[in-house]
Structure 1
Amino acid sequence: MSDAAKCPSARRVTVMINEHVADVRLNRPDKHNGLDWAMIDAILGAQAELRARAEEGGLRAIVLSGEGASFCAGLDMAAIMGEAARVPQLLVAGANGCTPERNTVQQLALGWRDAGVPVIAALQGNVFGGGLQIALGADVRLCDPDARLAVLEIAWGIIPDMGISVTARGVRPDWLHELSWSGRKVAAREAQEAGLVTRLVSNPREEALALAREIATRSPRAIRCITRLYAEALAAPEGEALALEARLQSDLLGQPEHMECVGARLEGRTPRF
């Protein structure tokens, strides 16, 4: 069963949901998926649609990619400044349907996590500035070996501010400083060494979709608990982290999905959820 989930400015972002996996594609290939106002609005719309689908129980994983030669080359500054009056609103917390803790540009990266399901980004070509920050909002980043990545905001005299203070916590601080200060473009292998990229693969989108489909066959409750565990426990004091582990495990043991996993393993079949 598949269906297209249309959102505002659908030309800029497409969403297809098939067998509980959302295939989300930035769709401005002639501009390397540069972020203009229509793209920003479309991303926010897609995120809202995915949150709704997850709440209905119809979503188990998200794959985020870009059509054409690049994942996303970052802000299309000429297009953005064409509506300069809108720019200050980007930094207002709670605007455009964001939570009180986030502004619009932070939502563009962090909003992928709101569905509470694994998010896998497939990267190729140019992954610059805001494009890299959006990719960092994913849980896993599969990257073409020939891709180039950059924290490019310094070239515009600004700082990276799309939630990178949260999403880049797994990146080596010395690399993050150097790349942010210089704006240097790095090859995919160097980006992997820095912690910006999870794995290098020859066909990122196909690999990402295959991983998402595998995740979709696993216990949805266990996947949600794993996601919550790492989101909350890794930054928590030891006692709180261990208590959360135990609480989440207690909520799973003996429940229908756990028993279905056990039964399927013993019977040598695929579990049914």
Structure 2
Amino acid sequence: MAERAPAWVEYVMRAGYAARGVVYLLTGGLALLSAWHGGSGEDKKGALSSLFGQPFGEVIILAIAAGLFCYGIWRLICGYMDLEDEGSETKGLVARVGQGVSGLANLGLSFSIARLALGNGSGGDGKEALTSKLLAMPFGQIIVGAVGLTVIGAGLAYLHKGWSEKYRENLRWSPILEKLSLPIRLGLMARGMVVAIIGGFFIFAAVQSDPDQAGGLSQAFDLLRSQAYGLYLLGFVAFGMLAFGIYCWIEVAFRVLPTRQRKGTLTIAQHLKMHA
């Protein structure tokens, strides 16, 4: 297999996953406190806002913003250069476009978080403003509906990745990871559930032609809380967000790029196939 990935891409990738891990550990922790003590769960920027007033809080937020910038760059390069060997067939192209969209979204989030740290932004998600601009465009409702379907598709992909344990194809085999299968699967599936709910908000905003119906993590948490046994649902998803944060740190240590896989290194999937 040709080595297409420049060496520096791995460092950018791991910095990005580390920043993501911090964000989701904070988000999951605050959501868990919300389920335990009452109140609303926080979105990503709201969770990071909790660092204000802490020693070096603004510096930590800027470091996280830089990490998410790295993650965004990594996803863009990954999709463009096909570093995960998705291929050029329809299914592969869809996956690579999804990687590019993820990259752009994380770049936007990193700039927004940097503005927040520098005192030039708010803790809001900005999804309502984006939806409002899209709805004002020709065929705006169709565009917003398509965005919603795309986001739901991403959520279902996370659910499938966790349920089918497809993540085994991208992680280097280690005995440690055999003991972490449950939190990895829980994290991916909880992440998928929340992403699918956010996609549903976009669909509802398109149908109602109302940008205020669009929402992010905090609105997804509020929706879960409002259901029967909502505190238990919110608690489950909060644990899932914490587990997803742990999974991101597992990616930092064990992520394997197919296009830079070192000789003798086996993924979990390859190890299991050899010992089947």
TM-score by length of 1: 0.28
More strand by share: 1
More helix by share: 2
TM-score by length of 2: 0.28
